[in-house]
Amino acid sequence: MNKLDQSNSKAATPSNRLPRTVIFLGFVSFFNDFASDIVVPLIPILLATVLAAGPIALGVIEGVADALACFLKLWAGRHSDVMSGRRKGLALTGYTLSNLARPLLGLAGSWMMVLLLRSIDRIGKGLRSAPRDAMVADATSPQIRGYAFGFHRALDNAGAVAGALTAAAVLAWSDLSLSEVILWSAVPGFVAVLLLGAGVKEEKSAHVQTAELQQVLPPLRWSALSMQMQRYLWVLVLFTFARASETFILLFGHQLGIGVVELLLLWAALNFAKAITSTQGGQLADHFGRGALIMIGWSALTVSFLALSQVTGSSGLWLVSIFYGALIGMSEGAERALISDFSALGERGTAFGWYHLICGIAAIPAGLSFGVIWHFWGAAAAFLFASLLALAAIILLGLWAWPRQV
């Protein structure tokens, strides 16, 4: 082989190194979740103490806030495809909106105001989620997509650790109130927006390639999705009913009598467990297939929520939460890499839009049903119900919607 052939061969071999875009988007998510998780673990505590609200209010807030943004997620993903893959503007708008609204939760005087501000925050998430995930997929080859999404989720979860630890330290060692701590979340949020605006460069080649496929974009309707993706998304609807907001774990801890600082440390430990397994889980998904890693994560939720229905003290809650975080983290990259596997180059934004839409639609009844069961029959019944739904989703995934083209 001559030198030219060797050069061409090397150029054709996909690199296993993460692209600059993926790395910067990872750090954008780190600082955004740093800001978010100063606030999010304090919401159930704020509701239960300052605002005198309970699990039903938390279920309404978490469910409605996610669902209000769900159709926006599909629109944003589709629009980023229509705009020839120019996705950064939508992502930047979404991050900016969230980081303007989220700190104002510290000034909320009622749970209805919390609902309003949380909804604006999630609308920002609706604008950014699908375009950002499509940017990760655009920048990577199929051979390392699980790795790329796992890395992104790892930094996302690491930001949650930093946010929770910061909130715990400030509450433990300063005289700041819950509301004042929430207001300070604006600082890392600003860093996230700055990093995205100044550090992330969209690939011109991706714009050109996507523009070439503009004329063959399928209609924006459910039937245009492949049958395999439709089946997977239907199963995901069922699993989303089981995957109630993790803030319910904190509310459960509060009911067990655990203090605010310890709950923040618990939240940090849960997300740290996710962070240390997310990248490796994504790499394993590239090697063994997406389905196997998704099955591990979903099984972890089934076992963990079953165990939570029997927990009666702090030590049990810590043990179950860390086990849950470590194994659910392994599946996070695989879930998103699978969506990119199901989509063509020019419709990745649309595919991720459908993914986030399905999760958002299911979030309303999921949060409400979990909160209502908790209110009338107790936390144990709610966690047991979610565990049984997750088991049903696992069975359907294995028998009806197992991914084959990965």
Q: What is the pLDDT of residues 316-372, one digit of tens each?
A: 889 988 898 888 888 877 877 788 777 766 677 777 888 878 877 777 777 778 888
pLDDT at 405 over 80: no
Lowest mean pLDDT among 50-64, 152-166, 193-207, 321-335: 50-64
| Those residues with Cβ within 8 angstroms of residue 28's Cβ, 6 or more apart along the chain or in another chain | 95, 192, 195, 196, 199, 200
DSSP single-letter state for residue 225: S
What value does the mean pLDDT take over residues 38-64? 71
Q: How far is C-alpha 166 from the chain's CA centre?
A: 21
Lowest mean pLDDT among 123-127, 363-367, 389-393: 363-367
* List of domains in the chain: 23-399 (1.20.1250.20)
Question: Percentage of the chain with pLDDT > 70?
Answer: 85
User: What is the C-alpha separation between 396 and 399, in angstroms, rounded?
Assistant: 5
pLDDT at 406 over 50: no
User: What is the C-alpha separation between 322 and 145, in angstroms, rounded?
Assistant: 26
Q: What is the pLDDT of residue 290?
A: 81
> Taking the CB of residue 396, how many other CB atoms lie within 10 A of it?
18
Alpha helices, DSSP H, located in 213-313: 227-242, 247-255, 260-288, 290-308
User: What is the C-alpha separation between 168 and 127, in angstroms, rounded?
Assistant: 30
DSSP single-letter state for residue 311: -
User: Residues in the chain, how many?
Assistant: 406
User: What is the C-alpha separation between 225 and 29, in angstroms, rounded?
Assistant: 29
Q: What is the pLDDT of residue 51?
A: 65
State the average pLDDT for the chain: 80
User: What is the C-alpha separation between 131 and 124, in angstroms, rounded?
Assistant: 12
What value does the mean pLDDT take over residues 84-106? 87
What the block records as the tokens of 102 is 């989220």
User: What is the C-alpha separation between 324 and 308, in angstroms, rounded?
Assistant: 10
